[in-house]
């Protein structure tokens, strides 16, 4: 007998509520193994592959590619039972007094073989039909494939936020084809007061969506009138949609239509990374009081040092970019001014000074702006930091950033100079107290040793949370970063 398991969309980040299925990596009928990738999902922070928690055969893909699904909603059904030809042939007699021991078979003693831990039963359990329900319908339900509990990772408060790679051991199988669970659910439903049926757009979209509760005559009545039952709130017992509900929906004023799109205009859905970025930037801009300071620096000595270091064997194979020296300067300055590497805890009314600097690097990707971070970057040597930055940006642009790299950042650098921009007023990453914008390095006239000569010059912009970082601290921190970039030898005094 088929044993169907449904895999729910897990929370692959910190408190994410939805994700878009970018593509399916399996099809109906495919045989999958545990941890085999099933699909690619774009969350609010990155695109990730979801591994299968079950081994078996794919029976149904509950949503099409391109559908946005709520966390906790089943997305795929897998048959984890044995093949249909595993049953013994009818002409193979069982040994006297014993059965073949196959699951579901009744032996000579009247006992049915069941899975270990499911408990024996002496007779075949049969479910009585509901009142008013044809016996044939009840018999069809009794022979339907058994649906076991879904895999649910990270959707509860006591579950880890990241992906699990095996089925949840706390979920116990249902006995006797779900009979006891069904009766318990019916009893619980009978004890609860009737509630109106409520549906969200995500619950009614895509394959596998919930079907509105209504009797066949009401469905035909609504169809004849052109009423979509998914938009109707049922007032009958248990949220059932009645004929009066359809009449009320017909009499209700039509919702105003969206303004027509002008010729040549394009509407782009706000979702995924862009939706998360928009919400985060609005929350940051209207929560943390921003202050931005600017500093123009002669970085000629740093650029010459870059050329010398790039030729050293210990830095072979890594990218020695100007961003590397800005990152190293920031890490050294943060060590001198640890309050810059802090966050504001509104609930506890405390300032959290972080011991490790998790350095975020803003990266532009085809799906939008993301900010992965290098964990405890202050402990890395220059060569290790160069490798970490290269790997971070390449992984981000390829869309393979793991969720762990998207969380826990404490301070950020945004390199606007790669676009030829001199500077800007960056907005803080939520939960951080400072962000440094690094502008383009240009040859500009500069007074050097009393003469106006061309020098390599850049502009730095530091935005900080004025609740944590006051003007003096922000100015000293920015001045230290500038001093290190102007004369890298200053690092010996830090």
399 pLDDT tier (thresholds 50, 70, 90): confident
Neighbours of 376 (CB within 10 A): 14
Summarize the confidence of residues 128-140 as an average pLDDT. Answer: 53
466 noted as active-site residue = yes
Distance CA 23, CA 254 (A): 36
Which has more pLDDT, 187 or 7?
Answer: 7
Summarize the confidence of residues 444-461 as an average pLDDT. Answer: 96
- b/e map 112-129, b = 16+ CB within 10 Å: beeeeeeeeeeeeeeeee
pLDDT of 105 higher than 50: no
Please enumerate in sequence order all residues whose Cβ is within 8 A of that of 363, keeping only pairs 6 or more positions apart, or say none. Answer: 369, 370, 371, 372, 392, 393, 396, 397
257 pLDDT tier (thresholds 50, 70, 90): low
Summarize the confidence of residues 417-441 as an average pLDDT. Answer: 94
Summarize the confidence of residues 319-339 as an average pLDDT. Answer: 96
162 pLDDT tier (thresholds 50, 70, 90): very low
Helix (H) or strand (E) holding 250: helix 243-251
Helix (H) or strand (E) holding 437: strand 434-438
- Is residue 229 within 8 Å of 199, Cβ to Cβ? no
Q: What is the DSSP letter of 10?
A: P
Q: Is 40 strand, coil or helix?
A: strand
pLDDT at 203: 41
pLDDT at 238: 79
pLDDT at 76: 94
pLDDT of 157 higher than 50: no
- Is residue 119 within 8 Å of 176, Cβ to Cβ? no
- Is residue 10 within 8 Å of 154, Cβ to Cβ? yes
- Is residue 6 within 8 Å of 147, Cβ to Cβ? yes
pLDDT at 57: 93
Pick the catalytic residue: 176, 290, 466, 486? 466
Q: Is 49 strand, coil or helix?
A: strand
Q: What is the DSSP letter of 259?
A: P
Which of 177-191, 362-376, 474-488 is the most confident on average? 474-488
Share of the chain above pLDDT 70, in %: 70
* Rg of the chain (C-alpha set): 31
359 pLDDT tier (thresholds 50, 70, 90): very high
User: What is the model's pTM?
Assistant: 0.55
**Of the ranges 171-180, 305-314, 405-414, 480-489, which one carries the lowest mean pLDDT score?**
171-180
pLDDT at 129: 53
50 forms beta bridges with 39
pLDDT at 364: 83
The two counts, helices (H) then strands (E), for the chain are 9, 20
SS3 content of the chain, % helix, strand, coil (to 5): 30, 20, 50
Q: Quote the mean pLDDT of the chain.
A: 78
pLDDT of 388 higher than 90: yes
pLDDT of 114 higher than 50: no
Which of 60-74, 91-105, 190-204 is the most confident on average? 60-74
Distance CA 4, CA 79 (A): 4
pLDDT tens for each residue of 216-254: 778 888 887 888 888 888 888 878 899 888 888 887 765
Pull the structure tokens for residue 400: 């393979």
pLDDT at 52: 92
pLDDT at 16: 66
pLDDT tens for each residue of 14-50: 556 778 888 999 999 999 999 999 998 886 666 788 8
Summarize the confidence of residues 473-490 as an average pLDDT. Answer: 96
**Of the ranges 21-35, 62-76, 219-233, 315-329, which one carries the lowest mean pLDDT score?**
219-233
What are the strands, taking DSSP E only, across 116-189?
146-147
pLDDT at 255: 56
Summarize the confidence of residues 72-98 as an average pLDDT. Answer: 61
**Of the ranges 48-57, 99-108, 126-135, 415-424, which one carries the lowest mean pLDDT score?**
99-108
- b/e map 439-460, b = 16+ CB within 10 Å: bbbeeeeeeeeeeeeebbbbbb
């Amino acid at each position: 007998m088929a044993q169907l398991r449904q895999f729910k969309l897990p929370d692959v980040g910190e408190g994410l509520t939805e994700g878009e299925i970018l593509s399916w990596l399996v099809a109906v009928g495919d045989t999958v193994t545990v941890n085999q990738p099933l699909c690619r999902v774009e969350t609010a922070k990155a695109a990730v592959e979801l591994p299968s928690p079950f081994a078996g055969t794919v029976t149904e893909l509950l949503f099409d590619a391109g559908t946005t699904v709520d966390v906790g909603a089943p997305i795929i059904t897998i048959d984890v039972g044995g093949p249909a030809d595993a049953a013994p042939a009818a002409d193979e007699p069982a040994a006297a007094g014993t059965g073949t021991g196959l699951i579901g078979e009744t032996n000579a003693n009247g006992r049915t073989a069941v899975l270990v831990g499911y408990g024996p039963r002496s007779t075949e359990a049969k479910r009585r039909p509901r009142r008013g329900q044809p016996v044939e319908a009840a018999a069809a339900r009794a022979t339907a494939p058994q649906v076991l509990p879904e895999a649910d990772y990270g959707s509860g408060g006591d579950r880890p936020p990241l992906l699990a790679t095996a089925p949840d051991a706390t979920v116990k199988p249902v006995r006797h084809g779900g009979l006891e669970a069904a009766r318990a659910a019916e009893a619980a439903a009978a004890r609860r007061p009737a509630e109106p049926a409520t549906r969200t757009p995500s619950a009614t979209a895509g394959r596998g969506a919930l079907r509105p509760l209504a009797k066949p005559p009401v469905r035909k009545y609504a169809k004849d009138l052109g009423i979509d039952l998914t938009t109707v709130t049922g007032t009958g017992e248990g949220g059932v949609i009645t004929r009066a509900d359809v009449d009320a929906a017909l009499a209700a004023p039509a919702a105003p239509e969206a303004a027509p799109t002008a010729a040549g205009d394009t509407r782009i859905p706000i979702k995924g990374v862009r939706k998360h970025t928009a919400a985060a930037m609005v929350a940051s801009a209207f929560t943390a009081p921003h202050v931005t300071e600017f500093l123009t620096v002669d970085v000629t000595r740093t650029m010459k040092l870059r050329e010398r270091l790039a030729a050293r064997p210990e830095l072979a194979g890594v990218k020695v970019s100007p961003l590397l020296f800005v990152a190293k300067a920031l890490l050294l300055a943060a060590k001198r001014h640890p309050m810059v590497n802090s966050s504001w805890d509104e609930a506890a009314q405390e300032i959290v000074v972080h011991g490790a600097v998790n350095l975020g690097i803003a990266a532009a990707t085809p799906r939008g702006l993301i900010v992965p971070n290098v964990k405890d970057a202050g402990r890395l040597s220059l060569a290790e930091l160069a490798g970490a930055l290269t790997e971070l940006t390449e992984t981000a642009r390829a869309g393979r950033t793991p969720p762990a790299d998207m969380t826990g950042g404490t301070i950020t650098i945004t390199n606007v100079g790669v676009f030829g921009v001199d500077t800007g007023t960056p907005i803080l990453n939520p939960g951080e107290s400072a962000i440094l914008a690094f502008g383009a390095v240009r040859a500009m006239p500069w007074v050097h040793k009393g003469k106006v000569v061309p020098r390599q010059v850049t502009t730095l912009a530091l935005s900080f949370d004025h609740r944590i970082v006051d003007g003096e601290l922000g100015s000293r921190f920015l001045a230290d970063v500038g001093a290190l970039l102007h004369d890298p030898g200053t690092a010996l005094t830090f």
